Structure 1
Amino acid sequence: MSLKIEVKKFSELKLTELYDILQLRSEVFVVEQDCVYQDIDGKDQEALHVIGYKNDKIVAYTRCFKPGYYFEEAAIGRVVVKHSERKFGYGHDIMKASAKAIEEEYQTSNIKLSAQQYLIKFYESHGYKTTGEGYLEDGIPHIAMIKN
């Protein structure tokens, strides 16, 4: 079953969608990865939200930012796929949709992200290259990656 993708600004999100997005992010980033951090960081209002639905349930998500907001380049963050849905390749679908949304909304294909290091090969498969040294973000090894 393919993923149904919607791209929305914060003001276009329904309350139930926002709730489901925050629940998915918490389920994966806080509970599954056992990482206590401030997910609700005040940046969602400035983001473009790329949402992947399967049977009307949110199972994949990213948030994207215009160049100059998060990094000099456009940015993709909070890349998440529900654990039970990862075997279907939805991570690839949501990343392709996010790059397309950035190109359409911000007219650029120059994108930077902060990748969890164990996912380097996944991001490389989408054309990203590591840059700089690795670092800890919320106790998890990360590295910056850029796609031009």
Structure 2
Amino acid sequence: MITWQLKPFTELTTIQLYQLLKLRVDVFVVEQKCPYPELDDKDHQKDVYHLLGYAGDKLIACVRLLPKGVSYPSVSIGRVAISANHRGGGIGHQLLEEALRACQSLWPNEFIEIGAQEYLEAFYTQHGFVRTSDMYLEDDIPHIDMILEK
């Protein structure tokens, strides 16, 4: 069972912040062998929220929810991460569904834009996202832009 917590940056405990950053670095920097600036000054922006998924006291999933104008003209989600040993059991779908519900609650009826790793296009399409760009490289990883229209 996963326990979900939605918090703005200012309400994260130091332990939660550490767990969040460690999970993201483990996935995006270490696992994907991609040195990039994980700390991009968006986490602490006004009205940015972090959705945290816990199994007991261990953070196993997270996503960042951003209001209009921080990453895209629309609301956006990013930094979607699941610990390696918890993948494959549907947690990714649960995480995205929770993220979409949270976005609807925070910013009702707004479009949601994402920059997705290209290999995840089918995953996001299952949740209603539509591809809006050609492939582009971000930190040497193929990405595409996608949107969920309301």
Report the TM-score, using the length of structure 1 for normalisation.
Answer: 0.96
Aligned to 2:126: 125
Task: Point out where structure 2 has 5 or more consecutive residues left out of the alignment.
Answer: none
Secondary structure (helix, strand or coil) at the match of 1:104 reads: helix
Report the TM-score, using the length of structure 2 for normalisation.
Answer: 0.95
Kindly state the Cα deviation for residue 108 of structure 1 after the two structures are TM-superposed: 2.9
Distance 1:6 1:64 in 2: 13
Kindly state the Cα deviation for residue 68 of structure 1 after the two structures are TM-superposed: 2.1
Identity among equivalent pairs (%): 39
After superposition, the CA RMSD in angstroms is: 0.9
Task: Point out where structure 1 has 5 or more consecutive residues left out of the alignment.
Answer: none
Kindly state the Cα deviation for residue 106 of structure 1 after the two structures are TM-superposed: 1.7
String of CA shifts for 1:37-91, please: whole Å, max 9, x gaps: 0001111002210111112210000001112221111000000000100122111
String of CA shifts for 1:81-123, please: whole Å, max 9, x gaps: 0010012211111111111111111223410100000111111
The answer to which structure has the higher helix fraction is: 1
Following superposition of structure 1 onto structure 2, how do residues 47-126 of structure 1 map, counting pairs within 5 Å?
47-126=48-127
Distance 1:56 1:96 in 2: 21
Return structure 1 stretches of 4+ with deviation > 3 angstroms.
none
On the 8 A contact 1:74/1:108 being kept in 2, the answer is no
Distance 1:106 1:70 in 2: 15
Distance 2:57 2:110 in 1: 29
Kindly state the Cα deviation for residue 3 of structure 1 after the two structures are TM-superposed: 1.5
Size of the aligned set, in residue pairs, is: 147
Distance 1:119 1:3 in 2: 22
On the 8 A contact 1:117/1:143 being kept in 2, the answer is yes
